[in-house]
Chain A
Amino acid sequence: MSTVLFSLLLGSPFAGSLLCALFHKRRALEIITAASSGLTFLSAFWLVSVVMAASPLITPNGWWYADGLSAYIIIIVSGSAFVVALYSIGYLRRQIGSGKVDDRHLWLYYLLLNIFIFTMMLVLLSNNLGFLWIGSEASTLATAFLVAFYERESSIEAAWKYVIICSVGIALALFGIILTYFSALHVVPATDNALNWSSLMQVAKNLDPAVLKLAFIFVLVGFGTKAGLAPMHTWKPDAYGEAPAPISALMAAGLVNVALYSLMRFYILVNTAVGGAFVSTLFIIFGLVSMAVAVPFILLQRDFKRLLAYSSVEHVGIIVFALGIGTPLAYFGALLHLLNNAIAKMLLFLTAGNIRMAYGSKFMRKATGAIKVIPVSATFLIVGVFAITGWPPFGVFVSEFTIISAGFASGNSIPAILCISIITTIFVGFIYYTSRMVLGVPNRPVTGGEANTASLLLLGVLLAALLLLGVFIPSPLQKCIDNAVIVLKG
Chain B
Amino acid sequence: MGAISLQTIGLLIDIFAAAILVTAFLIVSSRSLVFYIRLFALQSFLLGVVAFLVVLGYGETHILIAAFLTIALKAIAIPMVLTRVIERIQVRKEIDFSVNIAASLLLCGGMVVLSESVAQSILSGQQTDSSAVSRVLSVSIAMMLIGLFIMMTRKKALTQIVGLLTMENGVFLSGLSITYGMPLIVEVGIFFDILIAVLILGVFVFRINKTFETISIDSLRSLRH
**Is B225 a contact of A157 with CB atoms below 8 Å?**
no
Residues of A within 8 A of B (CB): 128, 130-131, 133-134, 137-138, 141, 144-145, 148, 151-154, 156-161, 163-164, 167-168, 171-172, 174-175, 178-179, 181-182, 185-186, 191-192, 195, 208, 210-211, 214, 237-238, 241-242, 297, 300-302, 306
Nearest 5 pairs of A and B residues by beta carbon: A130-B186, A134-B189, A157-B220, A137-B193, A182-B178
Which A residue's beta carbon lies closest to that of B211?
A153
Selected from B121, B127, B190, B208, the residue in CB contact (under 8 A) with A130 is B190
**Is B189 a contact of A156 with CB atoms below 8 Å?**
no
- 18 example contacts (A-B, Cβ-Cβ < 8 A) are as follows A130-B185, A133-B186, A141-B196, A141-B197, A151-B211, A156-B207, A163-B197, A164-B151, A164-B201, A168-B164, A171-B168, A179-B178, A182-B122, A182-B126, A186-B126, A195-B183, A210-B122, A214-B118
Which B residue's beta carbon lies closest to that of A300?
B225
B204 at the interface (CB under 8 A from A): yes
List chain A residues, Cβ under 8 A from B168: 171
Chain A nearest CB from B30 CB (Å) reads: 20
For window 189-212 of chain B, which residues contact chain A by CB distance below 8 Å?
189-190, 192-193, 196-197, 200-201, 204, 207-208, 211-212
List chain B residues, Cβ under 8 A from A241: 223
Which A residue's beta carbon lies closest to that of B191?
A134
A171, B217: Cα distance in complex, Å: 21
Of B124, B192, B197, most A-chain CB atoms within 10 Å:
B197
**Is B189 a contact of A148 with CB atoms below 8 Å?**
no
Which A residue's beta carbon lies closest to that of B168?
A171
**Is A178 a contact of B164 with CB atoms below 8 Å?**
no
List chain A residues, Cβ under 8 A from B192: 134
Chain B nearest CB from A332 CB (Å) reads: 34
Residues of B within 8 A of A (CB): 118, 121-122, 124-127, 144, 148, 151, 157, 160, 164, 167-168, 170-171, 174-175, 178-179, 182-183, 185-187, 189-190, 192-193, 196-197, 200-201, 204, 207-208, 211-212, 217, 220, 222-223, 225
**Is B175 a contact of A168 with CB atoms below 8 Å?**
no
Q: A153-B212, A214-B122 are in contact. List 7 more A-B contacts (CB 8 A).
A: A134-B192, A141-B196, A144-B204, A153-B211, A160-B157, A164-B160, A297-B225
List chain A residues, Cβ under 8 A from B183: 128, 130, 191-192, 195
A156, B212: Cα distance in complex, Å: 10
**Is B164 a contact of A175 with CB atoms below 8 Å?**
no
